[in-house]
Amino acid sequence: MQADSTSPPARVRAGGTVLSLIAGPLSVPILRAHLDGPLRLPDLRERIGGAAQTTLRGQVGNLRAIGALERHVRSGMPYTVENELTELGRGVLAVAAIVEAWLAQAPQGSIPLGSEPAKGAIRALVGAWGSTMLRELAAQPLALTELSSTISELSYPALERRLSAMRAARQVELRTDGGRGAKPYAVTEWTRQAVGPLVAAGRCECEHLAAVTEPLTRIDVEAAFLLAVPLVDLTVNYSGSCLFAVDTGSGNEGESKGRLAGVYIEIEEGSVASCVSKLEQEPRTWALGTVSSWVDAILEGRLGRLRMGGADPKLATSLIEGIHASLFFG
């Protein structure tokens, strides 16, 4: 059956739209130029320089179309057309600052935002995040054939292209494993740190672009756990285990009203020994929260909306604080 031509376009996974916008070389300079107030196109061109007028006009039109800039016509003779930064535009700039900090940590050396390497790195990240590929690689190293058997929505060539882009950007590396036929790919530490940009972009879209992108989900937060938790190195020699669970709606005393996803973490002498996608039925220590409360914890280190309990809530608190610090280079 052919698709109905009047059907709305497919919604994009949360984070991809804003990150793709930031990958463009002119988007962030244009938005930053409007921080001091509305600008006419000639004034904008004078401020940022280097861009052809038709190119600049087209990019301003794209930013207006998405809602990052707003057009105003000022009365007078002759009338004046200005563009003004919106709340979405300010949100995009906040995400861009996080992306810049991430690019500065690239294993090949700091990458300037707006450069071709930055565009390639961001697009490779978005391509992996847009499917379940990044989540699968976060859980464990996998060969291309294993990914192909796990991810049905992407063809083998499509997966191969995404892996090639990530490998070129140093977001995955081949692991030597003598016990397996095909060498598996593993995400790099730098890719794990990309949880910051991914979650920040997802929250920005949920707040300002809910009509065109998917909301952040419990599975997205689980993927963030799988990526970020192995980065944590506690300042004290804790040993123990902890469950991080994300819920569509939490009940009293840590009981769930909705469906759960999460990870089970084992700590040995202050270091993460394992982090697996598993919901332990009777965890020794646990932290439970909604998607939005976990997003606050990851991005801002705010723990007040999470429920924590069990034998050692301080272990859960230290782990969550460690995630935030590891992502924002604290």
Kindly state whether residues 170 and 194 are assigned to the same domain: yes
CATH at 182: 1.10.10.10
Report the alpha-carbon distance of residue 25 to residue 22 in Å, rounded: 8
Is 87 inside any structural domain? Answer: yes
Same domain for 227 and 321, yes or no, is: yes
Which pLDDT score is estimated for 179? 59
Token pair, residue 68, equals 């990052």
* Among the ranges given (63-77, 104-118, 167-181), the one the predictor scored with the smallest mean pLDDT: 167-181
Instruction: Determine the Cα angle at 82 with ends 77 and 86, to 5°.
Output: 150
Q: Is the pLDDT assigned to residue 64 strictly greater than 50?
A: yes
Element (H, E) at 139: helix 133-139
The 3-state secondary structure of the chain, one letter per residue: CCCCCCCCCCCECCCHHHHHHHHCCCHHHHHHHCCCCCECHHHHHHHHCCCCHHHHHHHHHHHHHHCCEEEEEECCCCCEEEEEECHHHHHHHHHHHHHHHHHCCCCCCCCCCCCHHHHHHHHHHHHHHCCCHHHHHHHCCECHHHHHHHCCCCCHHHHHHHHHHHHHCCCEEECCCCCCCCCCEEECHHHHHCHHHHHHHHHHHHHHCCCCECCCCHHHHHHHHHHHHHHCECCCCCCEEEEEEEECCECHHHCECCCEEEEEEEEECCEEEEEECCCCCCCCEEEEEEHHHHHHHHHHCCCCCCEEEECCHHHHHHHHHHHHHHHCCC
| The predicted structure's pLDDT at residue 234 | 87
Q: In this structure, is residue 320 part of a structural domain?
A: yes
- 110 and 151 co-located in one domain: yes
Residues 29 and 104 in one domain: no
More reliable by pLDDT, 278 or 38: 38
154 in the same domain as 107: yes
Q: Check whether 4 has a pLDDT greater than 50.
A: no
Q: Which of 33-42, 50-59, 286-295 has the lowest mean pLDDT?
A: 50-59
* Structural domain includes residue 257: yes
Residue 252 lies in a domain: yes
Mean pLDDT along residues 44-72 = 91
Number of Cα atoms under 13 Å in the Cβ half of residue 119? 9
Of 183, 208, 233, which marks where a domain is finished?
208
Instruction: Indicate if 90 and 105 belong to the same structural domain.
Output: no
Domain limits at 309? 218-327
Confidence bin at 101 (pLDDT 50/70/90): very high
Q: Are residues 174 and 273 in the same domain?
A: no
Asked if the structure places residue 2 within a domain, the reply is: no
The reply to whether 224 and 305 lie within a common domain is yes
Give yes or no: residues 196 and 272 share one domain: no
Is the pLDDT at 256 greater than 80? The verdict is: no
| Residue 246 lies inside a defined structural domain of this protein | yes
Residue 56 lies in a domain: yes
The residue assigned the tokens 């009338």 is 79
- Provide the number of structural domains found in the chain: 3
292: domain CATH number is 3.30.1050.10
Q: Of 94, 119, 148, which one is at a domain's C-terminal end?
A: 94
Are 107 and 71 found together in one domain?
no
In this structure, the answer to whether residues 23 and 54 fall within a common structural domain is yes
At 21 the pLDDT is 95
In a domain, 9, yes or no: no
User: Is the Cβ–Cβ distance between 264 and 280 less than 8 Å?
Assistant: yes
Average confidence (pLDDT) over 24-44 = 94
Q: Of 48, 75, 94, which residue constitutes the final position of a domain?
A: 94
Same structural domain, 229 and 317: yes
Query: For residue 103, what are the CA distances in angstroms to 98, 117, 131, 327?
Result: 9, 10, 22, 12
